[in-house]
Amino acid sequence: MSSPHSEQHRRKRLLIILTITGFVVTCLAAVGIYGLVTGPQQASTPPATSPAAPSEPTVAADDQLGARLPSLPKTNDPEAYARAVTVALFEWDKFTLLTPADHRGVLIADADPTGTEAPGLISDLDDYFPSASTWRDLAEYRTSQQIQIEQVFVPDLWTEAVVASGGQIVEGTHALTVEGIRHREGVWYDEPVTSAHPVAFTIFISCEPVFDRCHLLRLSELDNPLR
């Protein structure tokens, strides 16, 4: 028969375990990602090489006016990769024939190679790119958009979740929160107009040892990042 002291210790330990588990689930549920606990499964035949530095960007799309969209860099530097993702998300120019699908394609092309998180990423992107009708309106006003990155950092909530998970969050999975200013320029009744709005979001990335290089997993809701 267990003593009152040992029973109290057992209950206290169970409470701690349940609290930690609930914290991790809540953290990941905040951005709708549960697969990050186990992580994307490695492909059965891994690539032969593991590049550690960004490669020269390659052309992912080209239109009649000569606009080009570079693919995301092949790197194992999570911050460098997150910055490239940010540029791909926010920088576009309506004085081209490129469409939202062209811009989305750059990001989807670098999604989780196993396909586990790809459907979620496709859904996430709806929050970042204008709809087809809005895109046509922006073309009428010759609108362009750029992003000024203010800072990129690992959110405290993610760090705490990784520690609390006790190794359940797979090594090589990263969350980086980006804060910046979205700038738009256009023409309204032949007069140039500009606007600037702060933006913040969290990028979830998987790098070595899960994959041979970084890949984009998911995005938080825009302006609802992990802190």
Q: Mean pLDDT throughout 25-49?
A: 54
| 203 beta partners | 176, 219
Angle at the Cα of 131 from the Cα atoms of 130 and 132, rounded to 5 degrees: 120
Higher pLDDT, 36 or 200: 200
Of 151, 37, 142, residue with least CA distance to 93: 142
What was the pLDDT predicted at 97? 78
What was the pLDDT predicted at 59? 41
- The band of 215, judged by pLDDT with boundaries at 50, 70 and 90, is very high
What is the DSSP code string of 172-221?
TEEEEEEEEEEEEEEEETTEEEEEEEEEEEEEEEE-TTTSSS-EEEEEPP
What is the DSSP code string of 71-82?
PPP--S-HHHHH
Query: Domain ranges in the chain?
Result: 4-43+51-219
